[in-house]
Amino acid sequence: MEKNQTWRTKYYGVYIEKQYFDLGNANLYCYYITDDHGNAVGPIEPAYNGGQAPFFRGAYAVISSGSPASLTNGTAPEAQGRIALDAEDFSLTVTNTLTPLGHSNSILAMSGMEISDVTVELSLTLSSVNTTIANDHLNRVVRQVLIGTGPVGDGLGCAIMLPAGMLTADPNVYDVSGNDIVRQTLTYQQSRYAGDYSGENTETYESNAGCSPFRLGLGV
């Protein structure tokens, strides 16, 4: 991996430590860095994608009306009713815990890094309070959470899904700091998900995406 402007730095063994899906930022962790400014080229101007802003245009933020099969195998397809949310903002953070793998035959003292844990946190800001979920934090209710980003069309937008999301904060604590409206903040983290697929190659599917705590679908 290289960063080319009027200077150049080379990064070796790069792993994603934390990914932010609000502005598309990421923290990258690597175990060796060297400078190569003498061979740098530039300047390179930033490149921006054209088109409409890829946010809530033509898309929904929804949670399921029922609880998915978090602790037991689901019935495929596991279809739930939808509750639309009046979301005005969201942020998603995927954090990988990187564990170094020991290696005595190297000055780095490591052969690489392994992802030993993953934490997914989704925060939603609602401009209209939703009372259906008032007791979800108290009762540890698990719901599917789906964020659609627009605009809708081929190659546009994406969908972010927590197949089994659980609130980590009381949704009844409202944000009254502004001088216009009362806002509600929902903070979800992934819970255990037992999968939602049955049929041909079930074992292969369930060992990969079928039991994933977080899913990202791109418009194609």
Q: Where residue 148 sits, what CATH number does that domain have? A: 2.30.110
Q: What is the pLDDT of residue 23?
A: 46
Category of 22 on φ-ψ map: left (φ > 0), alpha (ψ -120 to 50) or beta: alpha
| Count of domains observed in the chain | 1
Q: What is the pLDDT of residue 90?
A: 86
Sign of CA dihedral 7, 13, 18, 20: positive
Q: What is the pLDDT of residue 46?
A: 46
Contact 4, 10 (CB under 8 A): no
Q: Does the N-terminal peptide bond of residue 43 adopt cis geometry, omega within 30 degrees of 0? A: yes
Arithmetic mean of pLDDT, 154-172: 87
Arithmetic mean of pLDDT, 9-38: 67
Domain that holds residue 73: 51-97+119-218
Q: How far is CA 15 from the centre of its chain?
A: 16
Q: What is the pLDDT of residue 145?
A: 93
> Would 22 be classed as within a structural domain?
no
Does an H or E element contain 26, and which? Answer: strand 26-29
Arithmetic mean of pLDDT, 171-176: 90
Arithmetic mean of pLDDT, 168-197: 84
For 102-116, what is each residue's pLDDT tens digit? 877 777 777 778 888
Question: Buried (b) or exposed (e) across 127-162, using 16+ Cβ within 10 A?
Answer: eeebeebeebbeeebbbbbbbbbbbeeeebbeebbb
By CB atoms closer than 10 A (0-12, 13-18, 19+), residue 212 is middle
For 37-92, what is each residue's pLDDT tens digit? 667 666 544 444 455 455 666 678 899 998 886 655 556 667 788 999 988 888 88
Residue 78: Cβ within 10 Å count: 19
CA-derived radius of gyration, the chain: 21
> Would 173 be classed as within a structural domain?
yes
Top pLDDT among 124 and 1 is at 124
> Would 108 be classed as within a structural domain?
no
Given a cut of 70, whether residue 133 has pLDDT beyond it is yes
> Would 179 be classed as within a structural domain?
yes
Reduced to 3 states, what is the DSSP secondary structure of residue 79? coil
